[in-house]
Amino acid sequence: MDCLFCKIASGSIPVTHLFETDQLLAFPDINPQAPTHILIIPKLHFSSLAHTTSEQAGLLGQLLTAAAEIAQQQQLAAGYRLVINTGPDGGQTVGHLHVHLLGGRHMSWPPG
Ligand code: 5GP
Ligand code: ZN
């Protein structure tokens, strides 16, 4: 499958591995929107959050606990934001499920 994040997960496109388990990989976003901007992906391909079911509950839980662990490693004690853009209205541009971990500055609300 011609999927950018599958290529990153398989190592055919090299990235800095900030966190890795058998099922997950975290790497820096190429176009950071905050001093810390990390993407956390499952190594298995899911096109978006909308393409998961309760069968993926464990994997989705791992994405969140990994995000909290990475935030601690990145010294984001002042806080951070997790974002899962989903589908066209959600602003998703890469069709492989990913969690954005943003930190190092104050985040405004509501998002654009
Ligand atoms: P989305 O808009 O789908 O929520 O997020 C996709 C993210 O992937 C964007 O923040 C974009 O900067 C990032 N991105 C796109 N291509 C690459 C790439 O080749 N390498 C990395 N590290 N990030 C990418
Ligand atoms: Zn993929």
Active site residue 106: no
pLDDT digits (tens, 9 = 90+) for 2-38: 999 999 999 999 999 999 999 999 999 999 999 999 9
pTM beyond 0.95: the answer is yes
CB distance 27 to ligand 1 below 6 Å: yes
CB distance 31 to ligand 1 below 6 Å: yes
pLDDT at 1: 74
pLDDT at 65: 98
Determine which one of 51, 96, 98, 106 is catalytic: 98
In a domain, 108, yes or no: yes
In a domain, 28, yes or no: no
Q: Which domain holds residue 89?
A: 1-23+56-112
Please report, for the domain that includes residue 14, its CATH number: 3.30.428.10
pLDDT digits (tens, 9 = 90+) for 36-92: 999 999 999 999 999 999 999 999 999 999 999 999 999 999 999 999 999 999 999
Q: 2-27 as b/e, with b when 16 or more CB fall inside 10 Å? A: eeebbebbeeeeebeebbeeeebbbb
* Number of folded domains that form the chain: 1
pLDDT at 112: 87
